[in-house]
Amino acid sequence: MAIFSVYVVNKAGGLVYQLDHYAPRAEAEKTFGFPLDLALKVHDERVVVAFGQRDGIRVGHAVLAINGADVSGRFTADGRDVLELLSNPAHYPVSIRFGRPRLSSNEKLMLASMFHSLFAIGSQLSPEPGSSGIEMLETDTFKLHCFQTLTGIKFVVLADPRQAGIDSLLRKIYEIYSDFALKNPFYSLEMPIRCELFDQNLKLALEVAEKAGPFGPGP
C-alpha cells in the first residue's frame, strides 16, 4: 500500500510542488569482468540496460554509479563517456550500480505541463458539455488521480492501484494547500511552494492515508 508521489500544478500548467514518497527503490551494485554480459544503450541521455536481465538488474535500469562515483546522464563525474569507458578492457574489473532512473526536476516540469495539456484535451473530447477532465489514469502498476479545483489548480496523486481513499486525500491536500501555502503571507500565488508547514502536513496526511490501506481512512 503506497502513495508514490504528489504533484501540484498551477493554472498555467507549471509545476508548483512535487513530492516523491515511495520507499527506497531497488538498486543493485555488482562488480563485472570484461566483457560485460549486459547490453547497454543510451536512452534519453542516460545509459540503460537494453537486454541481459539478471541478479536484480532489470531491463530499463540505468547506470547510476561507476566504481562508487555517481554518473550524470551518459558521462561520468569526470566527463568521460560511460559506454566508451565500459568498452575498454583496461578499466575492468569495474563495479557498476544499476537502478530505476529517478526523474530529474526538469523532466517532472515537462511531464506536469504535458499532463496539463492532456487534461484540457480530455475535457474537450467529452461528448457531453461541461465535462470534468481526466480524473483517473490507470495502469497495472499505479493509478494517477487528479483533482482540479474551481480555480484551476490541479492536485495529482500517483498511488498503488489497490490504495483506496485517494479522493478524500485529494480534498485533504486541497485544505492543506489553502491553509499552509495560501495563508502564508510571503507565498506568491502560482509560484513554487516552499513552505515547511505545507511539506510537514502533507507528509502526515499521506501517512494517514497509507495506514488506512485498501479500505480508505475511517469516517
Interacting residues with another protein (CB under 8 A)? 10-14, 113, 149-153, 171, 174-175, 177-179, 182-183, 189-190
Closer residue to another protein, CB minimum distance, 11 or 30: 11
CB atoms within 10 A of CB 16: 22
Taking CA 128 as the corner, what is the angle to CA 125 and CA 134, rounded to the nearest 5 degrees?
50
> CB of 12: closest distance to another protein in angstroms?
4
Whether the CA torsion 193, 196, 201, 203 is positive or negative: it is positive
Q: Which is nearer to another protein, 85 or 111 (CB)?
A: 111
Q: Which one, 153 or 157, has the nearer CB to another protein?
A: 153
Angle at 149 between CA 145 and CA 150, to 5 degrees: 145
**107, 96, 115: which is closest to 44 by C-alpha?**
107
- Please check whether residue 214 is in contact with residue 163, taking contact to mean a CB–CB distance below 8 angstroms: yes
Would you say 6 and 159 are in contact if contact means Cβ atoms under 8 Å apart? no
Instruction: Return the number of the residue (13 or 122) whose C-beta is nearest another protein.
Output: 13
- Cβ of residue 175: shortest distance to another protein, in angstroms? 5
Q: How far is the CB of 189 from another protein (least distance, A)?
A: 6
Q: In whole angstroms, how close is the CB of 133 to another protein at the nearest point?
A: 12
